[in-house]
Structure 1
Amino acid sequence: MQSGQVIGQGIPLYRLRIGRLALDTAACLVLSLVLLVSAFAQDSAGPLATEPKASLKLQLNRLEPAPDACRITMLVDNSRGGALKSYRVDLFAFDTEGVAQKRVAVELGPLSPKKTTVKIFDFPGITCPKIGRVLLNDVLACEGGEAGREACLERTETESKAGIAFDR
C-alpha cells in the first residue's frame, strides 16, 4: 500500500479532504445566501409594510382673484398623520413662461390628527391668470410630530385641481 492512498479506492487522501472542504464551503455559502435573502425579506415586510405611509397631501384646490393678489384655496389632507402644531411651507409662483415671480411662506398648521382642513391665503402682487405653476419649495417648520422638518417634506405629496401644476 502506498502512502497517502485510501485502501481499495486508489484516491489520494489529500484529494478526498479537498473535496470534503469544497462541499462544506459550498454548503456554508448556500446557507449564508438563504439567511441573507431571508433578512432582506423581513426588512421589506417589516413595520412599514403593515402600516400605511403617513403622507400629508397638499392639494391646490382653487385660484380666485383678490385685490392685488391671487387667492389660493389649499386642501391639507392629514387623514393618515398625527397632530402638528406648526406646518409652514415655502411656495413659489411661476408665471406662464416658467419664470419665478412670487415667493410666500404660509403657515398651514395647526393640523389635527386624522383630519383634512382647508386653508386660504394670498399670493400678493400677482394675478391668477399670470400663475402657470406653483412649487412647494420647502417645508420651513414641522413641529409637534415625531419627525423633523426634512421628514415632513419627504412625506408631503402635492396635487392640483386648480388647472395649473403644483409640484415639489
Structure 2
Amino acid sequence: MGRAMPGCRGIGGRLRAGFVLVATLTASISGAAAQDASPAAKPDVKSEAKSDAPPLKIELNRLEPAGDACRTYMLVDNGRGPALKSLKVDLFAFDTEGVAQKRLAVELGPVQEKKTVVRLFDFAGLACPKIGRLLLNDVLACEGGDATRESCLERIETTSKTSAAFDR
C-alpha cells in the first residue's frame, strides 16, 4: 500500500487527504476564474463613452441623372454633434442585382456644429436606375475636436429616401 500523508492514517486518512486536496484545488480554480471574470464585469468606460456620442446621420436623399452619371444628394445631419473639419467616406454603389459597380471616395465635410448640410457628387458612368444599394464601406478621414475615423464610423447612422438602400 502507498504511504499515508503525514497526520493521515489508513484508507480513511488518504480519502480525507484526497478530499482536502480536491477542495483546495477547486477553491483555487474558482478564485482564479472569479479574478479573470472581474475585469469583464466592470463597465468599459471607453465603450460606454462611444455609445453616448451623438449620432451623425447621413441620408441618401436623392439620385438624379446628370449626363452619363448619377448625381447623388447626401444630407449630413450633425444636429447634436461637434464641428467636423473633414468627413471623407468610402462608398460602393451596387446594381439592382447586388453586384458592386463603382467605388468613390467623397468628402462630406466640413460640417459645422449642430448643422445639417447637403453634399452633391456624381457616380460617373452609372445610370441612377441601375443603383440598387449604396454602401458606406468605411470612413477614410474624420477631423474635428477629438474625432477619429473609428469614432465617426460608430456615430454614423444611414438612411435613404430613394429606391436604393443605403447602409454601412
The TM-score normalised by the length of structure 2 is: 0.70
SS in structure 1 at match of 2:59: strand
- Deviation for aligned residue 1:145: 2.7
Give me the identity figure in percent: 70
Is 1:139 matched with 2:133? no
Hey, what's the Cα distance between the residues in 2 that align with 1:149 and 1:88? 9
Output aligned runs, 1:7-156, within 5 Å: 53-54=52-53, 55-156=55-156
SS in structure 2 at match of 1:82: coil
Moved more, 86-95 or 145-154: 145-154
Partner amino acid, structure 2, of 1:78: N
Hey, what's the Cα distance between the residues in 1 that align with 2:108 and 2:143? 12
SS in structure 1 at match of 2:110: coil
Unmatched 5+ stretches in structure 1: 1-39
SS in structure 1 at match of 2:119: strand
Partner amino acid, structure 1, of 2:72: I
RMSD over aligned Cα atoms? 3.5
The TM-score normalised by the length of structure 1 is: 0.70
Hey, what's the Cα distance between the residues in 2 that align with 1:99 and 1:145? 37
Hey, what's the Cα distance between the residues in 1 that align with 2:91 and 2:117? 18
Partner amino acid, structure 1, of 2:85: K
Hey, what's the Cα distance between the residues in 1 that align with 2:101 and 2:76? 24
Q: Report the count of equivalent residues.
A: 163
**Per-residue Cα deviation, 1:98-132 (whole angstroms, up to 9, x for no partner):** 00000111000001001111111111110001100
- Deviation for aligned residue 1:147: 2.5
Runs of 4+ in 1 over 2 A off after TM superposition: none
SS in structure 1 at match of 2:163: coil
Hey, what's the Cα distance between the residues in 2 that align with 1:53 and 1:94? 32
SS in structure 2 at match of 1:111: coil
Hey, what's the Cα distance between the residues in 1 that align with 2:130 and 2:78? 30
Partner amino acid, structure 1, of 2:134: V
- Deviation for aligned residue 1:67: 1.0
Hey, what's the Cα distance between the residues in 2 that align with 1:138 and 1:125? 22
Hey, what's the Cα distance between the residues in 2 that align with 1:117 and 1:163? 21
